[in-house]
Amino acid sequence: MVTAQRILISNAVRTNGATPNPWWSNAVVYQVYPRSFQDTNGDGFGDIKGITSRLDYLADLGVDVVWLSPVFKSPQDDNGYDISDYQDIDPMFGTLEDMDELLAEAHKRGIKIIMDLVVNHTSDEHVWFQASRDSDDPHADWYWWRPAKSGHEPGTPGAEPNQWGSYFGGSAWEYDPKRGEYFFHQYSKKQPDLNWENPEVRKAVYAMMNWWMDRGIDGFRMDVITQISKVIDENGKLPGEEGSLIADEPVGPEGYSSPFPFCSDGPRVDEFLAEMRREVFENREGYLNVGEAPGVTPSRNEHITDPANKELDMLFQFNHVGVDQVGSKWDTVPFEVKNLRREMSEQQKAVANAGWASLFFCNHDQPRVVSRWGDDSTEESRAASAKAFALLLHMHRGTPYVYQGEELGMTNAHFTTLDQYRDLEALNAYRQRVEEAKVQSEESMMDALALIGRDNARTPMQWDGSKYAGFTDAQAHREPWISVNPNHVDINAAAEFDDPDSVYSFYKQLIELRHTNQVVAAGDWQVIDEQAERVYAFTRSLGDERLLVMVNLSGKEAEVPAQSAALIEGLERGDFERQTLIGTHGTVHAAASLAKLGLSPWEGVAVRL
Q: What string of DSSP letters covers 121-153?
A: B--TTSHHHHHHTSTTSTTTTSB-EEPPPTTS-
- Residue 6 CB partners (closer than 8 Å, separation 6+): 26, 27, 64, 515, 516
Integer Cα distance of 266 and 232 in angstroms: 9
Residues facing 117 on adjacent strands = 222
Active site residues: 223, 292
Length of the chain in terms of residues written: 609
Count of CB atoms situated within 10 Å of the CB of 150: 8
Task: Give Cα 101 distance to the centre of its chain.
Answer: 26
CB atoms within 10 A of CB 444: 14
Q: Which of 231, 401, 389, 394 is nearest to 316 (CA)?
A: 401
CA dist., res. 1 & res. 3, Å (int): 7
Question: What is d(CA 28, CA 42) in angstroms, rounded to the nearest whole number?
Answer: 31
Task: For helices 337-350 and 298-305, give the axis angle rounded to 10 degrees.
Answer: 30
What distance in Å separates the CA atoms of residue 337 and residue 341, rounded to the nearest whole number? 6
Q: Three-state SS for 325?
A: strand
* Nearest-10 Cα torsion for 562, 568, 572, 573: -70
Nearest-angstrom CA–CA distance, 81 and 441: 30
Other Cβ atoms within 10 Å of 207 Cβ, number: 13
Give the other-Cβ count within 10 Å of 255's Cβ.
14
Report the alpha-carbon distance of residue 607 to residue 340 in Å, rounded.
22
The C-alpha angle with vertex 440 and arms to 437 and 446, in degrees rounded to 5, equals 125
CB neighbour list of residue 321: distance below 8 Å, 6 or more residues apart: 360, 361, 366
Helix (H), strand (E) at residue 578: helix 576-579
Return d(Cα 437, Cα 432) in angstroms, integer: 6
